[in-house]
Amino acid sequence: MNMKLKTPALLAAVALFATSASAETVLRLGHVWPDSEIHAQAAEQFAEAVSEATGGEVTVEIFGGGTLGSDREILEGLKIGTADIWLGGGGVLSAASDTAKIFTVPFMFDNLDHFAAIYDGEVGQSITEAIDEESGYQILAYWMRGPRWLTTKTRVETPEDLLGLKIRVPDSSVFVESWRQLGASPTPMNFGEVFTALQQGVIDGQENPLSLIYASKFSEVVDFLGDTQHVMEPIAVVASSSRLSQLGEEEQAAILEAANGVAKSFVAESVRSGEANFLQKLQDEGMELVEVDKEAFRSTLDGFVDTHFPSLGDVYGEIRNAAE
């Protein structure tokens, strides 16, 4: 064998392989949900759409179930390079943006149509631009999420029933202040710790959309499901601005289109069609549905924005006026 003849060819092949390998961009996407959750499934569709649109030049590697940390840790990881894309409840952005606090204001939307009209319209775009300016985070899309319901170990029908109950909430000042005003003892906690905390009696309840309550098997550790539907919070698809800027314009456009394409449509259809299905499944698993006094909850929160978050007054007014 003539090694002198083989070596240059071999080196050329290795160089070609290295060039091809380095041309592929891998983006790390993190979220905290179990694989069975609607938005976790949509993340897979988003990744497939990005790969297809870029001819495999950009791939999205998904790290679910809190593998990269809590929501806030993943989000902060966009700034330090441990993650490139984060999917999660928009309220998490409130740690870096005052405007993002609007995402979790209670009883702000009348229904899912109202929700979609806001986040897919001019108001949603102005919110996106303000958050980008305040935080440097680039929101690619807002995905629909079902309203949040209250699950507790004891029956809750009115705000008075919440007195002294430790209710797990996301680490967000809006969640904390709203549940405090309702009379509960709000307890911020990473989502991955919630099941065990309920099981061990560290907390008395939590609140989340039906799809996540079901996927997380909370029916095994709490008995009552309260029909509060108090918050309609979007899922934000957030990217690292610095990471995206390293890509070509066509690749950036493909990622933006994928975030607003099939995956987003899948989520909207699943949320709209799945609420009744998830409710029935949770009842079949033994949870008791509690029809809460929504008007009592709303009235207890009268003046909430003006009192605690006056800077949100204008955008809150735009959102409410759109319902009229």
Q: What is the pLDDT of residue 24?
A: 86
- Report how far residue 233's alpha carbon sits from residue 143's, in angstroms, rounded to the nearest whole number: 9
* Pairing mode of beta strands 137-143, 235-240: antiparallel
- Report how far residue 50's alpha carbon sits from residue 48's, in angstroms, rounded to the nearest whole number: 5
Among 42, 31, 37, 53, smallest CA distance to 252 is for 53
Tokens matching residue 279: 């409710």
Among 27, 71, 47, 60, smallest CA distance to 236 is for 71
CB of 271 closer than 8 Å to CB of 211: yes
Measured in residues, the chain has a length of: 324
One digit per residue, pLDDT tens: the chain, 324 residues? Answer: 444 444 444 333 333 333 333 458 999 999 999 999 999 999 999 999 999 999 999 999 999 999 999 999 999 999 999 999 999 999 999 999 999 999 999 999 999 999 999 999 999 999 999 999 999 999 999 999 999 999 999 999 999 999 999 999 988 899 999 999 999 999 999 899 999 999 999 999 999 999 999 999 999 999 999 999 999 999 999 999 999 999 999 999 999 999 999 999 999 999 999 999 999 999 999 999 999 999 999 999 999 999 999 999 999 999 999 987
- Report how far residue 15's alpha carbon sits from residue 7's, in angstroms, rounded to the nearest whole number: 12
Please tell me what DSSP assigns to residue 233. -
Among 119, 101, 234, 238, smallest CA distance to 174 is for 101
Kindly write down the DSSP assignment for every residue of 169-223, as one continuous string. Answer: E-S-HHHHHHHHHTT-EEEE--GGGHHHHHHTTS-SEEEEEHHHHHHTTGGGT--
Residue 321 corresponds to which amino acid? N
Which CATH number does the domain 148-231+281-321 belong to among 3.40.190.170, 3.40.50.180, 3.90.320.10, 2.60.40.10?
3.40.190.170
Among 303, 321, 265, smallest CA distance to 181 is for 303
Please tell me what DSSP assigns to residue 161. G
**Architecture in CATH for domain 24-146+233-277:** 3-Layer(aba) Sandwich (3.40)
Kindly write down the DSSP assignment for every residue of 65-84, as one continuous string. Answer: TTTT-SHHHHHHHHHHTS-S
Measured between alpha carbons, how far is residue 209 from residues 13, 96, 228 in Å? 52, 24, 11
Q: What is the pLDDT of residue 172?
A: 86
Can you give the pTM of this predicted structure? 0.86
Please tell me what DSSP assigns to residue 187. E
Q: What is the pLDDT of residue 323?
A: 84
On the question of a common fold for 24-146+233-277 and 148-231+281-321, the answer reads: yes
Domain limits, the chain:
24-146+233-277, 148-231+281-321
